[in-house]
Structure 1
């Protein structure tokens, strides 16, 4: 094995003489000793190639030729029987240093080279996380970095890591499983940071050139695995933090080896909170380094840098998390990320287009960047072109939303203006005829809700990770007589247009927050549009122990939230939510007891959920309401227009009381009514001289009609 030394001068390991791989393959062992050497040589040859190339795993893109996929699919089929047999034998083995065990582990490594998402996720049913822990504990020894007697343990240890790097690179479900507390994998791996050969001084005085068996290389493998696991499922973030991974990775940012800095940084961006992000990036050094790595990737023909073992798409995914912090957003643009984004959005690589368009979307939330983007003709040209011709839904949605945010997407604005015009026309015709409008109640069932309907609704804004809970909440509210809108299937038609119309027509928005909600550009777009229109909103917490931070913390401010993250308090919190909603978004009275709610029978399909009697038929006659006033229009009202608004609602007697109130002040009054209802009702009775409860109700209903 290769040599490594700590600052005190550790014992060197005598390297095994290994012939080139083509010679090893053709060799025929004649003695038991030669046969044993052959197994060791084959394993070392595999690890040498993996080290020199950044891993043997095949990198396939969705845009690759079909023949390439077929080629590696055929290879997987060929390896599959031996792969499954090897896993089964490894599970019942106690000594992993035998020839048979090492051959089996090498077979697993060979499959990891060509594994796709389906094959790698199959490892869950094959109990791979359990096997990983068993092999690690069986072979790990503090002295194996320096002892010749522990050579085989060290080889097995590195084979296990190399296979796991490749599997976790492609498998989301496997990463979720390995990152949970159940197996203790993260704390087990984190302990290796504490080995004397892994500290900064030892790494600094180690070998300059990376070889497969240096401590630096085995540490790099470990960080690779950690990065893959957290990148694929950030829900396991607390497991990493409890294992002190953040502290260890921060130490590596000072490592003299740039590749170790890169590995540590691209793992950290998924683990740190907003405050730590601020402290980590007090200078532009990390931003510049990340963009340097991205540039190295883009310089390569396939946009993959073997030195850093990263593709441009993976680097951009990390940048998206780095951009969660507003200061980082500005610094990324100041350090010329835009040309790199344009390069990635104009390639045929689908993963690159997705990650780059998502990054542009995230960066566009900062006002300084918005102005920069508006003045960048090339960027606008690329965004416009993709919004017209792109077939990938994620990329298309990102580009159209950015243009909408920049007020550059005239197509969307015109479509929405036309839709609004048609709604106004329908209302006008209904009013002129003096008829009641028949509304299809089935069209008000949340995800099937017709956004052109004049009826107001409760909008559920959430991130996809909690969709199951939100569907149950939707059923509960519908059963209580509320008209609920919820995006279940990426919305009908244009995602952007549907979202905007849904917010505009809402009586109140439920902000169902988790950390993933905070990091999602789609969720932030919904939330900020809600805030911009001064819509009433009620925060619901869906992730235990998560307190909103960053932009979400600023938006929620001192508002009290209803905690839906703890199952044992759900019944109590449903009652709280209905109290907070009041009559906003309600279209009929509740007439079913709470204990019949589908939340207590989560397996029941929506079609079996009992509804109030007046939901039984497909349609019901509802009096057509007055056209609601739009908050953006109200904001520009003069005092005279406020007086006209009072008269239109039969509240002319309040003109003198509201003298001096323009549209902005009226919206402020609406905000107080939403955020501090007790204070609102006490003060308006005293200041406005209301003489009856009916007058108060009429005034409050008039305010509620402002959307």
Structure 2
């Protein structure tokens, strides 16, 4: 049975990937890297085994990675085997294209472009990577509890990543969370809509299960089992008992953000509106501004 997280990289990034490997391993995650005993004997056989035993593969995306024949073979093989892909962006001012852009299209990548500027940035990037791995595959991985040490303060690296019930969204400017209130809306076209509110504190009603659709994602509240939607005619966010075109969303990395807090943009696919907060209310905007920025929590 697949059992590990495979780190797929081009040789130029080996030092960074080795540092990440060590941190993931210290935090109890089962991680695989070619230079850490992963390759013995025939290199093609070893790399194939690495993919075949992977629950998750993390491609460290750069121009050199995209140009590498070996990296292309690895990730294509992983994609063919339907291994979960958690991309890591390393190169600044560049976007994946060609075969790499095709494979990673629509996937939420983790930003390591400024990870090596200082240790605080690196720690935030590691936390983001672990959270994305656990979100996608926490139920498939055997995570070891780090050994406890008799010290007053535990080392920050000795922690056990936990899987959250779903995605939580905290607004970057207001610090408010998207919350399914469960209160019904009276609506002529539908008797099944509920209001969606903003909450000052996180809670179970603020977590949303991500479900893949056809070129989109649906977000179902983990408590109410209702789907997040948007009514363009009323410029109003709601939940429904079953998904339709108004419940189709795109989740994109906010590339303008430099905070390393996992900033994202939530865009309604059907209307093209960006989910935003304005004057304390959820609305859809036709153009992006800072009010459209959300942090994954």
More strand per residue: 2
Task: Compare the two structures and name the one with the higher helix fraction.
Answer: 1
TM-score, normalized by length of structure 2?
0.48
In terms of Rg, which structure is larger? 1
